[in-house]
Chain A
Amino acid sequence: MDPAALAFAQEDPEALAVSLSGDWRRANNPPEASAVEERLANSPQVRRIVLSTESLTGWDSMLLTFLIGVRSLASRNNVTVHEMNLPEGVKRLLALASATRERTLVKPTAPRVPIVERVGESALAFWRSLLDMTDFLGHIVVALVRLVRGTAAFRRSDLLLVVQQCGAQALPIVSLISILIGLILAFIAAIQLKLFGAQIFVASIVGVGMVRALAPIMTAIILAGRTGASFAAQLGTMQVNEEIDALRTLGISPMEFLVLPRMLALFLMMPLLCLYADFMGMLGGLMIGASMLDLTVMQYCTKTRESVQLNDVWVGLISAAVFGVLVALSGCMRGMQCGRSAAAVGDATTSAVVTSIVSIVVAMAVITAVCHVLDV
């Protein structure tokens, strides 16, 4: 391949002859229009540029951008350009490129916004998102009323499918996390309690800690990541594919058809998973108790039964049910609010997990305060 080259000649002080030669393709790194600009700056009396391309052996977009560049710098400097013997294809492409067929709607560039205005805007956006949330909750209540009346349109098989996905299929990860939490809790407690010879109280700490707080909150966080995110991604993709619009135009409320079964499933499954996590956590505690603290299995179980009250179990299970509803609502809400692009689905999923976790923690605080007041 011949290298791409640019040669200048100036017989007449007003005319600059530029000849292009060689293979003017990307692989050859052809010269840029700035080379002509430099030359032009050195000879300010030039009024005409005569481009000749007879000795070109090949070209691609690089030649086109070069020519466009020369044209624009010529018009900036009040110089005329004479293009001699351009290859036929180049001529046609240049004509095509300069014919603007689409009305150019210039995108308004975002002006610099003062910080006060930005703070105000984000406060308003936060307020709007609260309104959206309230609106969504309102629709859910309407759907629930219809469910109670027995007129809600959703398929039982959908409910069972979601129950399976968020219940049975979550057991392995819930087991793993709960056993480990129980183990860690027992291990930390054991080190301290051993100093006082009060090893047996490890059973109480693990029992009460798991049943009352850790099992529900850990299960909820696992399900927020596992199930809430999947709800948001699924509903978001359905939004992108216009599947939700298809439901609406058929007169089927997506709230009843999509959101209700998911919410019911999590409402039912979370307490069960939480109960399971309670036992798994105690099992983890027992492992430490039996291996490190020389407690017998019998001793550990008896102490656990003594210290865990039925009220503790109820508080845990009720929190779990509340968290389940929150996770389902966050996931479904972000999915339903999703925009119509791949990036929006990603945002919806992120936002679903964040919303779930924030609402879980807030709910936990409220439940703890209420329990304190009621003295349970």
Chain B
Amino acid sequence: MNPVEPHVAVQDLTVAYGDTVILRDLTFTINRGDIFIIMGASGGGKSTLLRSMVGLLPPAAGHVLYDGHSLWSMDTEEQSRILRRFGVLYQGGALWSSLTLAENVALPLQQYTTLGPRQIKDIVSLKLSLVGLSGFEDHLPSEISGGMKKRAALARAMALDPDVLFFDEPSAGLDPISAHLLDELILELRDSLRATVVVVTHELASIFAIGNNSVFLDADTRTMTAAGDPRTLLSESRDPKVINFLTRGAGIVDKAQRRTSLDRGARP
């Protein structure tokens, strides 16, 4: 593994919709190559934090730093150059419904690169084959299943070889096997592309299977109450809310039981 190198840093971030503060005082660091989990109960502001990190929602205070540059204090041109280094997989896939899968993946390449049509075609079929969808180039999003839509959206998110991949609830709406395959794919892509991955999820299986760093958002206090490797959090945290969350509400249980749930969720 490469030496630990900070990639994304969030400093004293406060996010609000109008006067309603959704999250306050968040500070954490994501290292290059991390699979970073943003977890917490529903309504805890997980997706809002993600929106703030990918440049959709300006924060009320604080900074989101990419390689030390603050996303929200640079000019728009610089910001859009940084945003191009991101790939975002939205919850429902958010494929453009009037375009075929190939056109969906090709659009960012056509917009931001000087590649010719044949090179773009090659890259598009490479990306689609990476997510197991080769042969589906000419299908419309409405003609494929939900799991395939998610993978096609992942192919689109990877089109520009991003440094940071964001996933909003990747396993929502997928059957356990597809969800597991998607997790494997995320790990594989992180290892081979050397990208940093940020995942919003509350799927415990995924959290333990792929995450090596995390932040826990508490819905009541509207801030983060824990950070670190989720497996370490499970064994060492003293916060009853974190333990409750990570044990599906079983609360503080004896060490032995905790170990088994840990092993079951651990990466093979």
What residues of chain A have their CB less than 8 Å away from a CB belonging to chain B? 25-26, 29, 32, 60-62, 64-65, 68-69, 88-90, 92-93, 96-102, 104-107, 109, 339-344
Partner of A26 from B115, B139, B191 at Cβ < 8 Å:
B115
Chain A residues positioned under 8 Å from B130 (CB to CB):
93, 96-97
Q: Judging by beta carbons under 8 Å apart, are B192 and A89 in contact?
A: yes
Q: Judging by beta carbons under 8 Å apart, are A102 and B98 in contact?
A: no
Closest CB of chain B to A105's CB: distance in Å?
8
Given A100-B129, A341-B98, A342-B98, A32 and B119 contact (CB-CB distance below 8 Å): yes
Query: Does B136 lie at the interface of the complex (its beta carbon under 8 Å from any beta carbon of A)?
Result: yes
Interface size counted on chain B using CB atoms at 8 A: 33
Mind listing 7 A-B residue pairs with CB under 8 Å? A68-B122, A89-B191, A96-B129, A101-B181, A102-B132, A105-B135, A342-B98
In the complex, per-residue mask of B126-155: 1 if CB is within 8 Å of any chain A CB, else 0: 110110111110111111000010000000
List of 4 A-B pairs having minimum Cβ-Cβ separation, nearest first: A104-B135, A89-B192, A341-B97, A101-B132
Chain B residues positioned under 8 Å from A102 (CB to CB):
132-133, 135-136, 148
Query: Does B239 lie at the interface of the complex (its beta carbon under 8 Å from any beta carbon of A)?
Result: no
In the complex, per-residue mask of B104-132: 1 if CB is within 8 Å of any chain A CB, else 0: 00000000011100010011001101101
Query: Does B229 lie at the interface of the complex (its beta carbon under 8 Å from any beta carbon of A)?
Result: no
Chain B residues positioned under 8 Å from A89 (CB to CB):
191-194
Q: Judging by beta carbons under 8 Å apart, are B126 and A98 in contact?
A: no
Partner of B126 from A26, A64, A107, A344 at Cβ < 8 Å:
A64
CA distance A68 to B140 in the complex (A): 25
Closest CB of chain B to A242's CB: distance in Å?
13
User: Which residue of chain A has its CB nearest to the CB of B143?
Assistant: A107
Closest CB of chain A to B190's CB: distance in Å?
10
Q: Judging by beta carbons under 8 Å apart, are B98 and A26 in contact?
A: no
Partner of A106 from B119, B127, B135, B181 at Cβ < 8 Å:
B135
Closest CB of chain A to B121's CB: distance in Å?
9
Given A65-B123, A98-B129, A102-B148, A341 and B141 contact (CB-CB distance below 8 Å): yes
Q: Judging by beta carbons under 8 Å apart, are B122 and A104 in contact?
A: no
Chain B residues positioned under 8 Å from A92 (CB to CB):
188, 191-192
Closest CB of chain B to A364's CB: distance in Å?
35
Closest CB of chain A to B84's CB: distance in Å?
11
CA distance A64 to B191 in the complex (A): 15
Chain A residues positioned under 8 Å from B191 (CB to CB):
89, 92
Q: Judging by beta carbons under 8 Å apart, are B113 and A26 in contact?
A: yes
Q: Judging by beta carbons under 8 Å apart, are B138 and A93 in contact?
A: no
User: Which residue of chain A has its CB nearest to the CB of B193?
Assistant: A89
Partner of B142 from A96, A99, A341 at Cβ < 8 Å:
A341
Q: Judging by beta carbons under 8 Å apart, are B113 and A96 in contact?
A: no
Q: Judging by beta carbons under 8 Å apart, are B136 and A104 in contact?
A: yes
Q: Judging by beta carbons under 8 Å apart, are B135 and A65 in contact?
A: no
CA distance A339 to B140 in the complex (A): 13
Q: Judging by beta carbons under 8 Å apart, are B161 and A60 in contact?
A: yes
In the complex, per-residue mask of B177-195: 1 if CB is within 8 Å of any chain A CB, else 0: 0000100010010011110
Chain A residues positioned under 8 Å from B97 (CB to CB):
341-344
Chain A residues positioned under 8 Å from B113 (CB to CB):
26
* Interface-central residue, A98, A100, A107, by most chain B CB under 10 Å: A107
CA distance A101 to B122 in the complex (A): 19
Closest CB of chain B to A67's CB: distance in Å?
10
Chain A residues positioned under 8 Å from B115 (CB to CB):
26
CA distance A344 to B5 in the complex (A): 47
Closest CB of chain B to A108's CB: distance in Å?
10
Chain B residues positioned under 8 Å from A342 (CB to CB):
96-98
Chain A residues positioned under 8 Å from B126 (CB to CB):
61, 64-65, 68, 97
Chain B residues positioned under 8 Å from A109 (CB to CB):
138
Q: Judging by beta carbons under 8 Å apart, are A90 and B192 in contact?
A: yes
Partner of B122 from A29, A69, A98 at Cβ < 8 Å:
A69
Q: Judging by beta carbons under 8 Å apart, are A93 and B122 in contact?
A: no
CA distance A89 to B189 in the complex (A): 9
CA distance A43 to B248 in the complex (A): 66
Given A61-B126, A342-B97, A93 and B193 contact (CB-CB distance below 8 Å): yes
CA distance A25 to B130 in the complex (A): 18
CA distance A369 to B20 in the complex (A): 62
Chain A residues positioned under 8 Å from B148 (CB to CB):
102
CA distance A88 to B142 in the complex (A): 36
